[in-house]
Structure formats: structure tokens, C-alpha cells
């Protein structure tokens, strides 16, 4: 019996000629909060979409609770998705549905519960994120922070065993960041589920994470307990986590020699 909820082995994914992930292998522990971090464009959100089978890898396997989701048919995949919740970076609420109906949507798709029970479950989840009074509002009437909270309520309405958070702290005020951080930790502790957080916010993410994975150039460059990774000697890891301007990732886009470039320009 493994202690890992997700086991990713030799995962490859490309957008046309552009390689996004190249030979990624990760073990995500069960019942813990795992942070996936790394520079922009390194494949963090793509990895979440592969785990939820929104995308298919070109090579490799993704085992969730010892089931390889890359080999499932549509019916089997729907059964697995019922066990997953995802808070999208943009919220991704349905614009023509009220807050209530957005949160109720997964219950209507994946269950046959009576309407009275759906109503109670939706109101319970909205109450947990402080939006029970906003149930009749439309997404266009919500602030950015309220949109994220509604998206969180929808992500947890099925009490999933796995919850994925895509940039939950980005662009939010300190009050909302503190609220979401508290909710993520409380949900993980009370539901004993497995959580994955993709984020650029190092301090907030590490404060609630039990395990950490750092991606760069489509590969895993560091993983382990947060304190161990933060103190890593790997120059790529140190540059990203400590925000160093100089390191393996250059500040300047490749270009001719600076002085020569200026001289050529003046000669013209």
C-alpha cells in the first residue's frame, strides 16, 4: 500500500514543436498539501490539466489512487473526476449561471441527489467561503476575490479526495490571501484530502505546504520538504525561490554583444 495519492512517471507533453514537460516524475503524498512551483511557462498549470485529464500526455503515466488515468475511457474518467476538485486561476465560472447554480453544477453532473439536498450542500459550501448571501448574484456582479471564493466553493462541493488550486493568491488583497490560505489549510485538515497548489507566491504557499516540487525547463529540479528545498544548493532552485536577478536564468534575452551592437547602430 503506497503513501502516495498520485504517482507521475516519465511524463512528456508538447504543444506542437514546443516541449512543455520532458520526463517529469513526481510522487504526491496522500492527505498532504503539495506545492508545485517554478518560473512562468515551466508547465505547472499544464501538469494540473494532465492530472485532471483535461489534456493527454504524449508519453508517460499518471496514477491517481493507483489508477492510470491516461488509459481510462470516458465513463471511467467521469467517475474519477468526481473524486477531484479544481479551483481555476481565473475562477472559470459560467457567466450565464448564478453563483448558486455555478456551485450546484458538479452536483447536477455527477450525482442524482434530490433538489433539497443539493440546495443544502450548496449553501453549506457558500457559507464556508463567506458567500451564502451572494448566492443569487451573477458572476459579472462579483469582485475578483468573490469570484475566487465562489470557484473554491464549487471545487469542494463534492467533498473531493483531491483538490487542485491554480494560482489561488495571484492579484488578491492581503485579506483575501489570508482567507484563502486559512480555507485551504482547514479544508485539508478537516476533510483529510490531498491538495496541490500551483503558485508564484512563495511565502504564502510554503506556509501551508507539507511537500514541495520545483519545475524549470519542463523538468523537476527540486523536491522534498519545504525547508529542505528552500535551503537547496541547486542554483536554479535558489535563483527562483530567492528572487535572484543573476543565475542560471539570464536577465537578458539572447542578443549580440552590447558594445558591438551600439557601435553597429551608430555606424548606420
Asked if residue 266 has pLDDT above 60, the reply is no
pLDDT at 121: 93
pLDDT at 149: 85
Least confident span in 30-39, 106-115, 214-223, 228-237: 228-237
pLDDT at 70: 85
pTM more than 0.75? yes
Question: pLDDT per residue over 81-95, tens digit each?
Answer: 888 888 887 768 888
Asked if residue 267 has pLDDT above 60, the reply is no
Question: pLDDT per residue over 204-262, tens digit each?
Answer: 888 889 999 988 888 898 888 988 888 887 777 777 776 666 666 665 666 777 777 77
pLDDT at 107: 92
Q: Count other C-beta atoms under 10 Å from residue 49's C-beta.
A: 17
The overall average pLDDT reported for the chain is: 84
Q: How confident is the model at residue 189 (pLDDT cuts 50, 70, 90)?
A: confident
Domain borders along the chain are 4-80+196-267
Choice between 245 and 266, residue whose per-residue pLDDT is larger:
245
pLDDT at 144: 78
CATH of domain 4-80+196-267: 3.40.50.300
pLDDT at 137: 92
The mean per-residue pLDDT over the stretch 28-49 comes to: 87
3-state secondary structure the chain: CCCEEEEEEEEEEEECCEEEEEEEEEEEECCCEEEEECCCCCCHHHHHHHHCCCCCCCEEEEEECCEEHHHCCHHHHHHHHCCEEEECCCCCCCCCCCHHHHHHHHHHHHCCCCHHHHHHHHHHHHHHCCCHHHCCCCHHHCCHHHHHHHHHHHHHCCCCCEEEEECCCCCCCHHHHHHHHHHHHHHHHHHCCEEEEECCCHHHHHCCCCEEEEEECCEEEEEECHHHHHCCCCHHHHHHHHCCCCCCCCCCCCCCCHHHHHHHHHHC
pLDDT at 222: 86
Amino acid at each position: 500500500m503506497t503513501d502516495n495519492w498520485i504517482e507521475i512517471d516519465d511524463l512528456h507533453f508538447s504543444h506542437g514543436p514546443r516541449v512543455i514537460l520532458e520526463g517529469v516524475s513526481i510522487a504526491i503524498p496522500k492527505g498532504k498539501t503539495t506545492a508545485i512551483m517554478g518560473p512562468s511557462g515551466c508547465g505547472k498549470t499544464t501538469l494540473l490539466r494532465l492530472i485532471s485529464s483535461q489534456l493527454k500526455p504524449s508519453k508517460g503515466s499518471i496514477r491517481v489512487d493507483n489508477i492510470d488515468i491516461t488509459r481510462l475511457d470516458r465513463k471511467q474518467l467521469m467517475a474519477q473526476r468526481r473524486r477531484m476538485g479544481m479551483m481555476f486561476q481565473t475562477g472559470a465560472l459560467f457567466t450565464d449561471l448564478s453563483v448558486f447554480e455555478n456551485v450546484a453544477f458538479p452536483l447536477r453532473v455527477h450525482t442524482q441527489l434530490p433538489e433539497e439536498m443539493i440546495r443544502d450542500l450548496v449553501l453549506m459550501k457558500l457559507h464556508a467561503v463567506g458567500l451564502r448571501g451572494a448566492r443569487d448574484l451573477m458572476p459579472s456582479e462579483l469582485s475578483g476575490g468573490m469570484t475566487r471564493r465562489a470557484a473554491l466553493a464549487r471545487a469542494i462541493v463534492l467533498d473531493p479526495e483531491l483538490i487542485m488550486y491554480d494560482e489561488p493568491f495571484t492579484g488578491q488583497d492581503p485579506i483575501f490571501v489570508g482567507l484563502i490560505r486559512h480555507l485551504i489549510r482547514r479544508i485539508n485538515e478537516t476533510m483529510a484530502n490531498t491538495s496541490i497548489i500551483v503558485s508564484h507566491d512563495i511565502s504564502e504557499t510554503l506556509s501551508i505546504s507539507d511537500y514541495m516540487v520545483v519545475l524549470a525547463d519542463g523538468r523537476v529540479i527540486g523536491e522534498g520538504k519545504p525547508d529542505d528545498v528552500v535551503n537547496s544548493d541547486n542554483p536554479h532552485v535558489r535563483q527562483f525561490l530567492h528572487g535572484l536577478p543573476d543565475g542560471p536564468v539570464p536577465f537578458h534575452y539572447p542578443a549580440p554583444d552590447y558594445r558591438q551592437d551600439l557601435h553597429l547602430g551608430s555606424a548606420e
